[in-house]
Amino acid sequence: MIGDGKGGAAATTEVLMTDARERLLVRARRDGLETVGYRVVDSPLGPLWIAVGPKGVLTIHYGAEPSQGELARIVRTYGPGVLPDPRRADPVARELDQYFNGRRRAFDVAFDLAGLTDFQRRILAATARVPFGDVSTYAKVAARAGSEKASRAAGQALGANPIPIVVPCHRILASDGTMGGYSGGLDAKRVLLRLERGSVPKATQYR
């Protein structure tokens, strides 16, 4: 009796729900409630969890779910309104896709380093200036950020880079030319360097 057409009813409820949710988000924004939209995209390096806030890309995380630390930074900065919102993450998803397909060398999307320390921000800003296909070292990035002797701290700041790929910390190597570290794993770092340079730099080459 009720069984008949139940599938149809469920489908209609889904449609009503989707509608209601879209209006909810519009009303939240109108009421001044800040939201951060996220989505998961596929990439040659596996799934990436991407979050976009009111000022730009906040997080690109290697994996389908954010780390608690990254989520905490977002919530500290913009409150609890972290919502699935594929459309908002579309521009950066598109640019990443172009990058991985060899059709993009620089990212145009805005990114947001809110919630990081001043030192981290300076290191990441210096890193963002290393162009496609180039590499630099932790020591040089530290020097450019105004802290010549802080190459170890620079390494840590880059290890905590919330926006890898777009802020290209994969282009930063150890001073002896070895790979150093990478939040997505050293294999991912090699893939990115190979994508940009055709090969992975040999140790000691960039002393």
Kindly indicate which of the ranges 14-22, 89-97, 100-108, 114-122 contains the residues binding other proteins, using the contact rule CB under 8 A. Answer: 14-22
Shortest separation between residue 134's beta carbon and other proteins, angstroms: 37
Shortest Å, Cβ 20 to other proteins: 5
Q: Which of 63, 79, 86, 131 binds other proteins (CB under 8 A)?
A: 79
Binding to other proteins by residue 96, rule CB under 8 A? no
169 annotated active-site: yes
Q: According to the 3-state scheme, what is the secondary structure of the chain?
A: CCCCCHHHHHHHHHHHHHHHHHHHHHHHHHCCCCCEEEEEECCCCCCEEEEEECCEEEEEEEECCCCHHHHHHHHHHHCCCEEECHHHHHHHHHHHHHHHCCCCCCCCCCECCCCCCHHHHHHHHHHHCCCCCCCEEHHHHHHHCCCCCCHHHHHHHHHCCCCCCCCCHHHEECCCCCCCCCCCCHHHHHHHHHHHHCCCCCCCCCC
Interface with other proteins, residue 28, by CB under 8 A = yes
Contact residues toward other proteins (CB under 8 A) are: 1-2, 5-6, 9, 12-13, 16-17, 19-21, 23-24, 27-28, 31, 33, 38, 68, 71-72, 75-76, 79-84
Which residues are part of the catalytic machinery? Answer: 169
